[in-house]
Structure 1
Amino acid sequence: MIWLTWRQFRAAAVATAAALAALAAVLALTGPGLADDYSAGIAACTAQGSDCARFREGFFQDNQAPFFGLTAVMLALPALIGLFWGAPMITRELESGTHQLVWNQSITRTRWLAVKLALTGLAVMTTAGLASLALSWWSSPLDQAGAANDPGFPRMGPLLFDVRGIAPIGYAAFAFILGVAVGMLVRRALPAMAVTLAVFTAVQVAMPLLVRPHLRAPVHATVELSTSNLNQLGLRPDEGVDVHLRAMAPDKGGWVLSTRLIDKSGNEVHGVLPVSTASGPCALRDRRQQGPDPCLNELNRLGYRQEVSYHPADRFWAFQWTETGIYMVLTLGLTAFCFWRIRRLS
């Protein structure tokens, strides 16, 4: 049974191994140079007494094409596994009738399914784990540069969280068994692939929107207004000051859930602030001479603050383990369903 499963899976396994080898070769050739360039740039600007913000921004922009390209590949990998490994695995047997040849011999349905799921599932998780490890290693300098930029791409953010650490292993395992389960229900390969893609996409969208923010209570911080957390400070004649906040965590690399402007009583403020632009620190006529700081100081003196809800960067691994655990529970549940369903197929 193991040999039969391997022969059926051999073409996909060889193609996947070749793709992983090609990816590893490209990353191995370019990764050390990328890391050296980043280290040298940081050392140079640090020696000049700079905070390296401009270097980090330029470094990330110069390498953002391969960064986002590889990120897109990693985001798509679990879905592709579900489509091309999971959904057709049982449906092609049902469509061709080859499952009956095995079931009519001494091999039970449960053993037949168990061997298929075990061998292919192990390959699925190994593939996702190796791809995530290689990409995380290669992207480390860009992750550091991107997290320090404004607005930045922190690892805790929805984009990078899904393609770093161990989470891709859970996603891939879930996508695979989802494809198998849908295939056993639909019994046809193409419809099963379409349903698998739709369901997996819905789950992946719902997780960062509805589940991940609540894995732990977010941190709430109140910070003074400054040039670092403002997008724009508009002075409107006869109206007041219009403040546009920037979604920025007090700790670098944090994942911002919400941000709002509050007054000294802690109440949320909308619209234009009733601060004079005819005279005082926010006066329009003095704007050019004084610059933005006097007006910011006045807003802070009046008690206006930014309130931020966020998850700090040091929760990355706790969230990774928790979310991977959620996906593995879903995977086990669908696996149990598959064993229940296989006994009712004809």
Structure 2
Amino acid sequence: MIWLIWRHYRWLAALGILALVVMIPLFVLNAHAINVASQQPDLAYCFHEDNRSCNLVVFPGMTTLTWYFLVVQTFPLLPFVVGIFLGAPLLAREYEQRTHKFVWMQSVSSSRWLSTNLMFVGGAVVLGFGALSLIATWWSFIQDATVSSPWSTFMIRGSVFVANALFSLMFGVMVGAAIRRVLPAMVVTLLILIPLQIALSMGYPYLFPPSSQLEYNFKIVHGEVIGLLDDQPQDLIVWKGQVGADGKIPIDALYNPCPDDKLTGEALRRCNASSFHELVKYHRFNEHFWPLQLITTALLLALAAVCTGTTYWLLRR
């Protein structure tokens, strides 16, 4: 049985190993170029906190910014690949080719067959994405000081990247068990994973209560730094708007507590100063990034467990 699983997935395993062999040196070269440049006195200005936009040549045809944007735009799509090309066909192929009638009539039960497949395929996904996540996390910490916000790499750092791949795998397996046709299962997996992934990437900041601050931008401008300036924000802004005198309740856009047809001059200024406040809700990187990673990971693993349980239930029907 193990030999049969290897026969099915040996080319995909080889492709995954080849991808790691190619990508890991690119991460290392990229980080090395930045580290070497940051130690050169004539390039020190490039890494100053007011100028963090270095674009260094890693090798001909590839700069640090090119690799950064390539990683940020393509790596979040890798869980789709797992769900579509590994998860969806896993059971659907057996049903479509009717090989399940032969396999499950032997001494191996359907549940044991599925468990063995999930153990090997899921283990390979966890190991592969774990290795990729380790190198991407290390590389991202170097990028934080030179390119953009650390929150732009949230979905490819730490445990979230691995949990997301595992969830996508189990979701694809569940869809394949329900539809029992390879191509429809792959299409449905893609169409449903797209909104799920968009919801996850946009909704994870709301899984943990954000900090809030009155007059956020005012305090930054006047040196009371709670975040960095707009050219390199370390804080993830969740919500901003105007609130009333209590500092909590948002002001109705149609309601003006200080009408200029009744108040003028100093009285109008004082009324505005006491009635209108800017409230910003945000996540600070060094306080909320890893708690959000753990919560998002737990959510993805719970969803993966639900998909796994549903798959076994469908298998026994």
Is contact 2:140-2:153 (8 Å) kept?
no
Normalising by structure 1, report the TM-score: 0.74
- 1:234-253 to 2 correspondences below 5 Å: 250-252=226-228, 253=234
Which of residues 141, 150, 153 in structure 2 aligns to 1:154?
150
- 1:39-54 to 2 correspondences below 5 Å: 39-40=39-40, 44-45=44-45, 52-54=48-50
| Residue 192 (structure 1) aligned with residue 182 (structure 2) | no
The letter for the 2-side match of 1:189 is V
Is contact 1:42-1:52 (8 Å) kept?
no
Which residue does 1:143 correspond to in 2? 144
1:307-337 Cα shifts (integer Å, max 9, x gaps):
1011221211111111111111111111111
| TM superposition shift of 1:42 | 10
Which of residues 153, 164, 177 in structure 1 aligns to 2:157?
164
CA distance in 1, matches of 2:194, 2:74: 15
Is contact 1:93-1:99 (8 Å) kept?
yes
| Residue 25 (structure 1) aligned with residue 25 (structure 2) | yes
1:244-268 Cα shifts (integer Å, max 9, x gaps):
xxxxx93241211111245656463
From the superposition, tell whether residues 71 and 224 of structure 1 become closer, same or farther in structure 2 (CA, over 3 Å): closer
Is contact 1:143-1:154 (8 Å) kept?
yes
Structure of larger gyration radius: 1
Is contact 1:42-1:55 (8 Å) kept?
no
Size of the aligned set, in residue pairs, is 291
Which secondary structure state, in structure 2, belongs to the residue aligned with residue 55 of structure 1? coil
| TM superposition shift of 1:128 | 1.5
CA distance in 2, matches of 1:14, 1:20: 10
Q: Supply the RMSD in Å over aligned alpha carbons.
A: 3.2
CA distance in 1, matches of 2:217, 2:30: 41
CA distance in 2, matches of 1:42, 1:254: 30
1:119-158 Cα shifts (integer Å, max 9, x gaps):
0001111121111222222233222234xxxxx5232xxx
CA distance in 2, matches of 1:139, 1:223: 30
| Residue 256 (structure 1) aligned with residue 252 (structure 2) | no
CA distance in 1, matches of 2:40, 2:10: 45
Which residue does 2:51 correspond to in 1? 55
1:158-186 Cα shifts (integer Å, max 9, x gaps):
x3211111101110000001111101111
Is contact 1:67-1:139 (8 Å) kept?
no
Normalising by structure 2, report the TM-score: 0.80
